[in-house]
A and B are shown apart, each in its own frame.
Chain A
Amino acid sequence: MSIETPLPVLKPADFASDQDVRWCPGCGDYSILAQMKKVMPTLGLPREKIVFISGIGCSSRFPYYMNTYGMHSIHGRAPAVATGLKSVRPDLQCWVITGDGDGLSIGGNHLMHAIRRNMDLNIVLFNNRIYGLTKGQYSPTSPLGKKTKSTPMGAIDNPLHPLSIAIGAEATFVARSIDTNIKHLGAMLSRAAEHRGTAFLEVYQNCNVFNDGAWQYATDRQSKTETTLELQHGKPLIFGKDRDKGIRLNGLDPEVVELGKGIKEDDLLFHDEKSPEPSLAYLLSRMRYEDGFPEPIGVFRSVKAPRYDDMINDQIEEAQKQHGKGDLDKLFNSGETWDVA
């Protein structure tokens, strides 16, 4: 449209609400909030077009701190609330803020179904591998054997891998970042926002009160180059301080190899975020530090697919094309009727 008024230039501060942020000092959530506010003005959307929906948990206080529309809903249900909102108003950009407990435990069902419908939602899952708001019970991503208040002898349930779950639910966009890697985090939030369809972003987030250091291996200056691997589309999987290690496929299994000594870059696994089959993304989502692998960060998968919020409205349009806009008097008088004089 030619008469469109230019958008006012917004700054990160314009996205801060007037509410005091009440996370514990040192919480990883602050970093995610800061990056979100930084990314917002770059999206080209006015504030009123943005909605943040959350469930329950520390992460779910997020909407209160954003000067956009928002709802702090109930435990685990944010994807479903967002589904109703986005179906009615596909023009709004909708973010779902959740955590490992909210998203994968009590709300696992909704998360899975929102993803498989490919609703145009940006789901950010703050993974701190612990229940913070209820003061320190183990979560669905806590490692086996994790000792907490509710598991004094160690957790005996296997942890879920959020990205594996998302990919299993046919996610069209899957990414991972780390709270302290702010540049990377900002980039991933932008990529999630750009994706049309469900964008699922896992953020390794430190709970310095109940699970301090859960991601230390991935954030420590000394070790992070060895324990993480930054994915780049079309590039080989290389990591290490000296970029001398890589991931190679051995049959269907990945293995860590050292470059040189007869192994060239071309022998390595190349990343393809646009692969129509999710096998590679799934394989990457299974690479765990405790199994001797660097953990990938970046975009695992980004493919185009039809979106529920589009289709539900397309069907209405299609029905209106077929039957007109709907005349209730006609409907009421359809079928067998009779007159009483």
Chain B
Amino acid sequence: MSTATPEKQLANVEEATVRFCGDSGDGMQLAGTQFTNTSALAGNDVATFPDFPAEIRAPRGTKAGVSGFQIHFSSNEIYTPGDTVDSLVAMNPAALATNLQDLRDGGILLVNKDAFDKKGLEQAGYETNPLEDGSLEKYKLHSVEMTKLVRLAVEGLGLSQKEADRCRNFFAMGLVFWLYDRSLDPTLRFIETKFGKKPEIAQANTAALKAGFNYGETVEAINTQYHVDPAVLPPGKYRNIMGNTALAWGLLAAAQLSEKRLFLGAYPITPASDILHELSKHKHYDVLTFQAEDEIAAVTSTIGASFAGAMAVTASSGPGIALKGEALGLAVITELPMVIINVQRGGPSTGLPTKTEQSDLWQAMYGRNGECPMCVIAASGPADCFYAVQEAWRISSKYMMPVFFLTDGYIANGSEPWRIPKMADLPKIEIKHPESRDSAADDFEQFQPYTRDDLLARPWAIPGTPGLEHRLGGLEKADGTGNVSYDPANHQHMTDVRQKKVDLVADDIPEQKVFGEKEGDLLVLSWGGTYGSCTTAVRHAQKAGKKVSHCHLRYINPFPKDLEGILRGFKQVLIPELNMGQLRSIIRDRYLIDAKGLNKVQGKPFSVAEISEKINEMV
């Protein structure tokens, strides 16, 4: 169904990338989310990249305060939010100045002309008005008086000027919806739900949205509409999902599948806080969310909750994980199950709180005192969080040990279509607890908390169970009895056991998937949120006839058993990472393979082009 009038052309395109950018108070995240949901509902594959400043309200109109949201939507499967932008919406000069470099030549540029006044231009560092000085000639520039048009559109609704101006994002949305032949219905439904209690605001936003849409339809200067057909995705029911939401829902699922109460101990930290927010909404799933006084209390309460028999989880980001380090040692030595989530961000120290990075891998692997190995699992994208975190809990509860779960800011805030699973189809997570004993019985023997099963897991005996009274603690334990032991041979033995438990997981995880041939000139090895750009770049290289394959790791400690063989099947190995080479160092250390790195720490994900360029340089 097209809304194109006879004077307008409708062009079918395979895919498009749109970015909304403006001041952090301009509602760009909302505009982006609405466009994403609408595109997903239209059946496109979508990938998004929200990018916002660390300050809640940086000074208005400044470059520091620019907030952006990028959506890539396609009639084919896509894996990244797109390298370059086809259409850029810039709500003020600062947004234009900081985002224009990503707009492709010939791309569509929609700007709010009214914001390009003297002050706005000065704040963005423009000496002349780019809308008038010819510097934007290579783009399809549409300079729209959005402020004025919105004020006119909402006239008579009794809104103050400030309130009227707040509807500008809906105008911009309306215009982009028209441009990409999108239905307004999902956003109209959203307005109804969100602003139903404030009818004048609902009316105003509706009016602004329609005004933007009609503007596109009416104005002669915009003569082409673009249409992206639905993608061919595996059949099923879909929804759009963000990484942190998928992660929280994965935790809910894991708790139900293992018949456990879910306890989350957390301290607010960007970009992990949404996990706390999401789970706090779902208390009726028997979820206890504890906003602790600090990161240390968050993890130690998690240890207490695990001791008490709950599915215990703590979620944080790098600086918070640093504070948890000592307690993670306690989790390892007490051999209690729990999931430690790190939604990574730029570091060191406070670093770049709202930007993505993969620089906490070594922290997860090594960031504790003593010989303190931990199983490390990483999600590859927003929807994968749902499944990967269930896997983390499966391993944690089966082997009785804490498991590190890594995502990053890019995964956490990004979104993609998610084929909705049925709970009945998800594998159950079986957990057994030792049963009570009669301490008055003649044959009663003191319970030994550090006896082990075939997988070296000790029994998870829960306080409240008669006859299993025992003490855990941070001092070294004698294997079996669990009593404090300073015996040299025992310490060596227990150190070996704790390592062995992690190693044994390698027998319990799937073989490493290889995308492409199992031998060749180059293997691209990736982990975490770089999955999309790596797989896309490898696809391009394969299409170009290069002998390049791709492996993406979910299991980092331990590695899949067949990984070494795969690595050795290629003449070269390239490991692109948003850090200075942390996985590369581990791979070299483990296998003595001279992997090469492509490394970047700029708070931004890789573009496909960056990886393609490196691949082309190597083969």
Interface residues of chain A, those whose CB is within 8 Å of chain B, are 8, 17-19, 46-49, 51-53, 56, 63-64, 66-75, 77, 80-89, 91-92, 109-110, 112-113, 312-313, 315-316, 319-320, 322-326, 328-329, 331-333, 335-341
Q: Which residues does chain B contribute within 8 Å of A341, judged by CB atoms?
A: 235
Q: Which residues does chain A contribute within 8 Å of B464, judged by CB atoms?
A: 48-49, 69, 89, 91-92
Q: How far is the CA of A56 from the CA of B330 in the complex (A)?
A: 12
Q: Which listed residue (A80, A313, A326, A333) contacts B304, Cβ 8 A?
A: A80
Q: Are B263 and A87 in contact (CB under 8 A)?
A: yes
The residue of chain B having its C-beta at the shortest distance from the C-beta of A78 within the complex is: B300
Q: Which listed residue (B240, B265, B292, B300) contacts A74, Cβ 8 A?
A: B300
Q: Are A73 and B238 in contact (CB under 8 A)?
A: no
Q: Which residues does chain A contribute within 8 Å of B309, judged by CB atoms?
A: 88-89
- Given the known inter-chain contacts A84-B301, A340-B235, please indicate yes or no for A316 contacting B420, CB distance below 8 A: no
- Given the known inter-chain contacts A19-B484, A74-B474, A84-B302, please indicate yes or no for A316 contacting B465, CB distance below 8 A: no
Q: How far is the CB of A67 from chain B (nearest CB, A)?
A: 6
Q: How far is the CA of A325 from the CA of B290 in the complex (A)?
A: 20
* B466 contacts A by Cβ under 8 Å: yes
Q: How far is the CA of A276 from the CA of B353 in the complex (A)?
A: 44
Q: Provide a sorted-by-A list of 16 A–B residue pairs whose CB atoms are within 8 angstroms.
A: A67-B469, A69-B464, A74-B474, A85-B304, A85-B308, A88-B304, A110-B296, A110-B297, A315-B283, A316-B287, A320-B283, A326-B282, A326-B286, A336-B189, A337-B237, A338-B238
Q: Which residues does chain B contribute within 8 Å of A336, judged by CB atoms?
A: 37, 40-41, 186, 189, 239-240
Q: How far is the CB of B435 from chain A (nearest CB, A)?
A: 12
Interface residue range, chain B: 35 or more
Q: Which listed residue (A71, A316, A332, A333) contacts B288, Cβ 8 A?
A: A316
Q: Are A73 and B286 in contact (CB under 8 A)?
A: no
Q: How far is the CA of A73 from the CA of B322 in the complex (A)?
A: 18
- Given the known inter-chain contacts A82-B304, A312-B288, please indicate yes or no for A72 contacting B238, CB distance below 8 A: no
Q: Which listed residue (B238, B307, B310) contacts A340, Cβ 8 A?
A: B238
Interface 9-residue window, one of B10-18, B249-257, B515-523, B555-563: B249-257
Q: Which residues does chain B contribute within 8 Å of A331, judged by CB atoms?
A: 249, 252, 282
Q: Are B300 and A73 in contact (CB under 8 A)?
A: yes
Q: How far is the CB of B547 from chain A (nearest CB, A)?
A: 34
Q: How far is the CB of A41 from chain B (nearest CB, A)?
A: 14
Q: Which residues does chain B contribute within 8 Å of A71, judged by CB atoms?
A: 303-304, 307, 334, 471-473
Q: How far is the CA of A66 from the CA of B463 in the complex (A)?
A: 14
Q: Are B252 and A87 in contact (CB under 8 A)?
A: no
Q: Are B237 and A74 in contact (CB under 8 A)?
A: no
Q: Are A110 and B282 in contact (CB under 8 A)?
A: no
* B440 contacts A by Cβ under 8 Å: yes
Q: Are B293 and A339 in contact (CB under 8 A)?
A: no
Q: Which listed residue (A8, A83, A339) contacts B238, Cβ 8 A?
A: A339
Q: Are B466 and A322 in contact (CB under 8 A)?
A: no
Q: Which listed residue (B290, B310, B327, B440) contacts A77, Cβ 8 A?
A: B327
Q: How far is the CA of A183 from the CA of B475 in the complex (A)?
A: 33
The 10 closest A-B pairs by CB, nearest first: A84-B304, A72-B473, A84-B301, A326-B285, A84-B305, A80-B297, A85-B304, A319-B284, A69-B463, A81-B304
Q: Are A17 and B305 in contact (CB under 8 A)?
A: no
Q: How far is the CA of A86 from the CA of B303 in the complex (A)?
A: 12
Q: Which residues does chain A contribute within 8 Å of B288, judged by CB atoms?
A: 87-88, 312-313, 316
* B294 contacts A by Cβ under 8 Å: yes
Q: Which residues does chain A contribute within 8 Å of B436, judged by CB atoms?
A: 48
Q: Are B293 and A110 in contact (CB under 8 A)?
A: yes
Interfacial residues of chain B within 438-497, with CB under 8 A of chain A in the complex: 439-440, 446, 463-475, 483-484
Q: How far is the CA of A112 from the CA of B233 in the complex (A)?
A: 54
Interface residues of chain B, those whose CB is within 8 Å of chain A, are 37, 40-41, 43, 186, 189, 230, 232-240, 249, 252-253, 256, 261, 263, 265, 282-288, 290, 292-294, 296-297, 300-310, 312, 326-327, 329-330, 334, 419-423, 436, 439-440, 446, 463-475, 483-484
Q: Which listed residue (B239, B263, B296) contacts A88, Cβ 8 A?
A: B263
Q: How far is the CA of A332 from the CA of B474 in the complex (A)?
A: 40
Q: Which residues does chain B contribute within 8 Å of A80, judged by CB atoms?
A: 292-293, 296-297, 300-301, 304
Q: Which residues does chain A contribute within 8 Å of B236, judged by CB atoms?
A: 339-340
Q: Which residues does chain B contribute within 8 Å of A89, judged by CB atoms?
A: 308-309, 463-464
The residue of chain A having its C-beta at the shortest distance from the C-beta of B284 within the complex is: A319
Q: Are B463 and A338 in contact (CB under 8 A)?
A: no
Q: Are A328 and B41 in contact (CB under 8 A)?
A: no
Q: How far is the CA of A331 from the CA of B421 in the complex (A)?
A: 11
Among B265, B284, B465, find the residue whose CB has the most chain A CB atoms closer than 10 A: B284
- Given the known inter-chain contacts A19-B483, A71-B334, please indicate yes or no for A87 contacting B290, CB distance below 8 A: yes
Q: How far is the CA of A335 from the CA of B305 in the complex (A)?
A: 32
Among A49, A63, A332, find the residue whose CB has the most chain B CB atoms closer than 10 A: A332
Q: How far is the CA of A88 from the CA of B421 in the complex (A)?
A: 29
Q: Which residues does chain B contribute within 8 Å of A66, judged by CB atoms?
A: 471
Q: Are A51 and B263 in contact (CB under 8 A)?
A: no
Q: How far is the CB of A233 from chain B (nearest CB, A)?
A: 32
Q: Which residues does chain A contribute within 8 Å of B301, judged by CB atoms?
A: 80-81, 83-84, 87
- Given the known inter-chain contacts A73-B330, A74-B330, A340-B238, please indicate yes or no for A85 contacting B484, CB distance below 8 A: no
The residue of chain B having its C-beta at the shortest distance from the C-beta of A14 within the complex is: B439
Q: How far is the CA of A322 from the CA of B334 in the complex (A)?
A: 38
Q: How far is the CB of A47 from chain B (nearest CB, A)?
A: 6
Q: Which listed residue (B282, B293, B310, B440) contacts A109, Cβ 8 A?
A: B293
Among A86, A89, A112, A335, find the residue whose CB has the most chain B CB atoms closer than 10 A: A89
The residue of chain B having its C-beta at the shortest distance from the C-beta of A113 within the complex is: B293
Q: Are A53 and B304 in contact (CB under 8 A)?
A: yes
- Given the known inter-chain contacts A48-B465, A81-B303, please indicate yes or no for A73 contacting B263, CB distance below 8 A: no
Q: How far is the CB of B234 from chain A (nearest CB, A)?
A: 7
Q: Are A83 and B297 in contact (CB under 8 A)?
A: yes
Q: How far is the CA of A82 from the CA of B240 in the complex (A)?
A: 39
- Given the known inter-chain contacts A324-B284, A340-B233, please indicate yes or no for A18 contacting B304, CB distance below 8 A: no
Q: Which listed residue (A49, A84, A328) contacts B308, Cβ 8 A?
A: A84
Q: Which residues does chain B contribute within 8 Å of A339, judged by CB atoms?
A: 236-238
The residue of chain A having its C-beta at the shortest distance from the C-beta of B283 within the complex is: A319
Q: How far is the CB of B254 from chain A (nearest CB, A)?
A: 11
The residue of chain A having its C-beta at the shortest distance from the C-beta of B426 within the complex is: A328
Q: Which residues does chain B contribute within 8 Å of A8, judged by CB atoms?
A: 440
- Given the known inter-chain contacts A72-B471, A333-B237, A339-B237, please indicate yes or no for A83 contacting B290, CB distance below 8 A: yes
- Given the known inter-chain contacts A332-B421, A340-B236, please indicate yes or no for A109 contacting B294, CB distance below 8 A: yes
Q: How far is the CB of B434 from chain A (nearest CB, A)?
A: 12
Q: Which listed residue (B40, B41, B300, B469) contacts A81, Cβ 8 A?
A: B300
Q: Which residues does chain B contribute within 8 Å of A324, judged by CB atoms?
A: 284
Q: Which listed residue (B43, B249, B285, B463) contacts A48, Cβ 8 A?
A: B463
| Known contacts A84-B302, A338-B239; 5 further A-B pairs (Cβ under 8 A) | A19-B483, A63-B471, A80-B293, A85-B463, A313-B288
Q: How far is the CB of A36 from chain B (nearest CB, A)?
A: 15
Q: Which residues does chain A contribute within 8 Å of B234, judged by CB atoms?
A: 340
Q: Which residues does chain A contribute within 8 Å of B439, judged by CB atoms?
A: 47
Q: Which residues does chain A contribute within 8 Å of B186, judged by CB atoms?
A: 336
Among B240, B265, B474, find the residue whose CB has the most chain A CB atoms closer than 10 A: B474
Q: Which residues does chain B contribute within 8 Å of A17, judged by CB atoms?
A: 471
The residue of chain B having its C-beta at the shortest distance from the C-beta of A333 within the complex is: B420
Q: How far is the CB of A84 from chain B (nearest CB, A)?
A: 3
Q: How far is the CB of A113 from chain B (nearest CB, A)?
A: 4
- Given the known inter-chain contacts A48-B464, A80-B297, please indicate yes or no for A325 contacting B284, CB distance below 8 A: yes
